[in-house]
Amino acid sequence: MDLIPDPRRTWPVKHETGVHHLDGETLIDAGPGTEGVARWLRTAVGAATGLPLGDAAGAIGSGDDENRVLLEINPALESELGPEAYRLTADGRTIRIDGGSAAGVFWGAQTLRQLLGPDAYRAAPVAPGREWTVPTVIVEDAPRFGWRGLMLDVARHFMPKDGVLRYLDLLAAHKLNVFHFHLTDDQGWRVEIKRFPKLTEIGAWRDRTKWGFRTSELWDEKPHGGYYTQDDIREIVAYAAERHITVVPEIDIPGHSQAAIAAYPELGNSDVVDTAALKVWDTWGINPNLLAPTENTLRFYEGVFEELLELFPAATSPFIHVGGDECPKDQWRESPLAQARIAELGLADEDELQSWFIRHFDRWLTARGRRLIGWDEILEGGLAPGATVSSWRGYGGGIAAAKAGHDVVMCPEQQVYLDHRQADGDDEPMPIGYVRTLEDVYRFEPVPPELSAEEAAHVLGTQANTWTEVMQDRSRVDYQVFPRLAAFAEVAWSSLPAPGERDFADFEQRMTEHYRRLDALGVEYRPPGGPLAWQRRPVPNGDPARLGRPIDGPPPNV
């Protein structure tokens, strides 16, 4: 059946033809709590097939009580396999999708779409009147991890709202359930905050953009920017919720904040830097300009988070990401104000000052029913009591946090940074970082062996990260993300053997069909044989090393 992710159990149902037909008389019978899944089936699958998939509740006297797609929440299934579990049964008479929750029913509906074939991923029928069939089969499945995510950086290169909605559909098609929304950085502020309008009036736009890696001498001289209005954000969150995807917004503090400082110079360390002269950053790398540790800064970001919490309700966004990464502390060392703050608080050094900053917002968010999550640098100077750690600099930060009793999301750059190149050829577009092939991602293991069973329980799951410094448009994002996201989705969902024992040949065989699904969705993935002519990009200055391709040692942090 070439399903991706690979399900736990499948077995055939005896039937004279071996297939189950859907036709113009097929109705959807949605049990309580599954109405949203029924709506999605009619919108997505109905559009592709041309089938009306009418409401069984309104079909009086239809004369065929068996030609149904039954959707039902099954508490027993939840007890046995968990809330996101599902069981799909196609027996030639009825298709039944039971789920441990509405989310489980939705993932079962995604499997039904795969069983219908690649054309079920199109926006309209390509062959009106064709027969639509699925095998007579039972599929029983449940995810390994509760956190199966993709981080998308829209700060470095802005992705318009329709592109974000499209990526939510792509996540859902791969049974991924967390969208980490990287909304602010040195190169742009992307969310409207009404009490601080300059964040988007000034902070959302830069004059030009570095072309290539940060050592490139080339520039795109066209201004770049954009932001999401608050109504855009509400729409994105609602769209995600309909697809059972949690949105984790990220507002970077105290580093990666030059766009905010450019808008409001008083946020920066003005006693050592002329912050009034700063603009939204136009290049890449680790920026020295960080927030001043003042009460004014705390109150400012409390105001930002107050609006953010309204836009991202607790029911759909329990976690708020505060960044905390790549925060060079030279300005704090030089700043009399920062040094006075360290002395006032009785802190040992600048690392503890950053910890004080993060701890403040940990308490602030906890008091409002939210959970703080940050990159693994928030371990430096002492981890805030309620914090969850995104472990990106390898496994080490996640191991330390889990051993200390903190929850962890594993996203090590060496394995699941999708901005890193997919092959070693010079035809790869603007290659950076490690070579991480489709097979490399498929053999990624989120839980390190150093953890005991009790400690491993703190690993909430895993996510792949997509930083967009060298991804100037949707096509480039597609190329970097796919097909590797399909391999990552299977790692995050399926209960796979140890990395060295995984059957990559079987996965590649199933990918043959999955490429056809991606084609139907219009995804501009990297083909197995390498980039197509129009997917290649010239290497600035003709020197791959200038793009950060590591010859020895680890990749640069970009």
Q: Among all residues, which ones are annotated catalytic? A: 185, 256, 326
For the CA atoms of 487, 491, 494, 500, the dihedral, rounded to the nearest 10 degrees, stands at: 100
d(CA 304, CA 531): 42
Neighbours of 148 (CB within 10 A): 27
d(CA 479, CA 547): 18
Q: Which two tokens stand for residue 111?
A: 């499997």
d(CA 13, CA 16): 10
Chain-centre distance for alpha carbon 118: 24
Polymer length in residues for the chain: 558
Per-residue b or e along 280-319, where b marks 16 or more CB atoms closer than 10 Å to that residue's CB: bbbbbbebebbbbbbeebbebbeebbebbbebbeeeebeb
Task: For residue 385, give the amino acid letter.
Answer: P
d(CA 378, CA 104): 34
**What are the respective helix, strand and coil percentages of the chain, to the nearest 5?**
35, 20, 45
The owner of tokens 């006032």 is: 344
User: 485 forms bridges with which residues in the sheet?
Assistant: none
The C-alpha angle 125, 514, 132, rounded to 5 degrees, equals: 35
* Residue 348 burial (10 A CB sphere; 0-12, 13-18, 19+): exposed
Neighbours of 437 (CB within 10 A): 15
Task: For residue 105, give the amino acid letter.
Answer: V
Handedness of CA 399, 402, 403, 404 (dihedral sign): positive
* Mode of pairing for the β-strands spanning 86-90 and 95-99: antiparallel
User: 388 forms bridges with which residues in the sheet?
Assistant: 373
The owner of tokens 């409002």 is: 368
- Tell me if 187 sits within 8 A of 259, measured CB to CB: yes
Phi/psi for 545 (5° steps) reads -65, -25
d(CA 462, CA 459): 8
- Contacts of residue 117, defined as CB under 8 A and 6 or more positions apart, other chains included, come to none
Q: Which two tokens stand for residue 175?
A: 């049974």
What stretches of 241-303 adopt beta strand conformation (E)?
Answer: 246-253
